[in-house]
Amino acid sequence: MSDGTDNARITRPDGLPVGVPFTAENQPEGRGRPKGSRNAKTILNELLDLAEQVKHPVTHEDDEVSNREFILAKLVAMAKSGDLASIDRVLDRTEGKPTQALNLGGQDGENPIESKLTVELVRPKGSSNG
């Protein structure tokens, strides 16, 4: 049987006993995200903001548009052609998703408790309507 003192004799690779926290002088090397690295959201936004000369999916004219605008225009074009998933996405992003009631009651509707969640997106004053 162990009396609980065995851990005090176990040491980490740096020679300190197990259970001793790192100090300012004693930090592991190469841990965490490197300084100056960019996260995925930043990289994705930069790629979406790149512009190129393409045939606009809605107007069908050669135009210089950002990747972001091209993707949104393609979504609108697909919705216009009758793609139901695209129609749902466009309406969800412009009109908001429909409110859904949740039945939190017992079995067979006994003592139902209804809950309603409404999400409203508000455009800040002074922002473009684009």
pLDDT for res 78? 94
Whole-prediction pTM: 0.49
pLDDT for res 1? 46
Residue 58 CA to residue 82 CA, distance in Å, equals: 14
Tally of domains in the chain: 1
* Residue 115 DSSP class: E
124 within domain boundaries: no
With beta carbons less than 8 A apart as the criterion, state whether 25 and 37 touch. Answer: no
Digits of tens for pLDDT over the chain (130 positions)?
Answer: 455 555 556 777 777 777 767 777 767 776 777 888 899 999 999 999 999 998 888 888 898 999 999 999 999 999 999 999 999 999 998 988 888 776 666 666 666 666 688 888 888 887 776 5
Domain containing 64 equals: 39-93
23 within domain boundaries: no
2 within domain boundaries: no
With beta carbons less than 8 A apart as the criterion, state whether 114 and 102 touch. Answer: yes
With beta carbons less than 8 A apart as the criterion, state whether 101 and 114 touch. Answer: yes
With beta carbons less than 8 A apart as the criterion, state whether 67 and 49 touch. Answer: yes
